[in-house]
Amino acid sequence: MTERTRRDLCPGLLRPWIADDGALVRVRVPGGQLSALALQGLLDVATTYGDGTVHLTSRANLQVRAIAHEDGCLSDAVVDAVMATGLIPSVTHERIRNVMASPLTGRSGGRADLRPVVLALDRLLCADPVLAALAGRFLFVLDDGRGDVAGRDLDLGLVAVSQDEVQVRAGRDGWGPVVPIGQAAEHLVDLARRFLEMAGARADSPWHVDELPGAGPALIGATHERDNATRASADSPPIGRIAQDDGHFALHLEVPDGRLDRPMMDDVLALGAPQVVVTPWRTLIVPDLEVT
C-alpha cells in the first residue's frame, strides 16, 4: 500500500499546475467525446493565452500550457474563456471527471454502446457533493468488450460482457457483479462513495483503490468470479478510415506529439462532423462522416 503525505495536486482550471513555461490547465473530457466547436474554442484559448496548441493526454483529456499567471492564479479572462467552451460543467467537480472509454464504442465494433453510461456516470458524479473529494487522478475505465482500454490502470470501471450487461471492476484485481448496463453508472458511483468512506479525509489518505487495505476486493466486499468475456484484448484502431456499424465512417487521425494546432483543427472542421473523440493514444477520431 502506497503511503501518501499530502493531498492530490492534479491540475484543473481553478487550480492549475505551475510549470517552467507557465500555468498548465487540464480539461477533463469524459469518454473523450466532445463537440468540434468546443475543441476549437479550447484551441482559441491556447492561441490567445497559451502556447498555441491543445495537448492531448494519455487519459484522453486535454491540456493548455504556458499560460501567464499571477502567484499561481489565472486571470478572469482566461477562466471565462475556458468556461465559454462548455467543457467545465461543474467547477466543484471539474478535476474528478476522469472517465476513459473505448473511443469507438457505439459506432464501430464492441459488444455494447457505452456512450449512455459515460453520460450517466458524469451526471451522477457531478451531482453528488461528496464525490468532489475524489483525487484528481482517480480514474474510471469503461471497456465495451473489445479490450482496447481494459488493460489500463484504473480505480473503478467495467467491461461489457454482452450488449445488455457489464461486469464491474475495482482496482487491479477486484471483479464485481455482472449488472444490467442501465444500472452500471449507479454501481460505479456507489463504489466511489464507499472508496471515500474507506479512504478517509486525511492528508495521507489513499488516492487510488489499489492503495486501500485489501484493494479492490475489499472495496467490493464480496467475491465475484471474473467473466471469461472480459478477457478480450485489442490494439488501438488503425490510423485512417474506419467503417462504422451504421454505414457512416470515422477518420482516425494522428496528432503529431499529441499537440493539436490551428492547421490541423481547420482540417478537422472542414470535414463537417459535429463531434470528435480524443483517444488514450493521443490521437483524434472524427466520426459519423458520410460515405461518398
Residue 222 is assigned to a structural domain of this protein: yes
Q: Can you give the residue range of the structural domain that contains 196? A: 96-230
Whole-angstrom distance, CA of residue 82 vs CA of residue 96: 17
Q: Are the beta carbons of 34 and 278 closer than 8 angstroms?
A: yes
Residue 7 pLDDT > 80: no
In this prediction the pTM is: 0.95
In a domain, 205, yes or no: yes
Structural domain count, the chain: 1
Mean pLDDT, range 218-230, rounded to an integer? 95
Q: Is the residue at 102 inside a domain?
A: yes
Residue 12 inside a domain? The answer is no
Residue 41: inside a domain: no
Contacts with 197 (C-beta within 8 Å, 6 or more apart), sequence order? none
Position 132 in a domain: yes
Helices (H), 50-181: 76-83, 115-127
Tally the C-alpha atoms within 13 A of residue 236's C-alpha that lie toward its C-beta.
Answer: 17
pLDDT at position 73: 85
Are the C-beta atoms of 22 and 264 separated by less than 8 Å?
no
In-domain check, residue 175: yes
Q: Where are the alpha helices (DSSP H) in the chain?
A: 36-49, 76-83, 115-127, 184-199, 215-220, 262-270
CATH code, domain with 106: 3.30.413.10
pLDDT grade for 1, boundaries at 50, 70 and 90 = very low
Residue 177 lies in a domain: yes
Cell of 170: 475495482
Cα–Cα dist 269/77, whole Å: 26
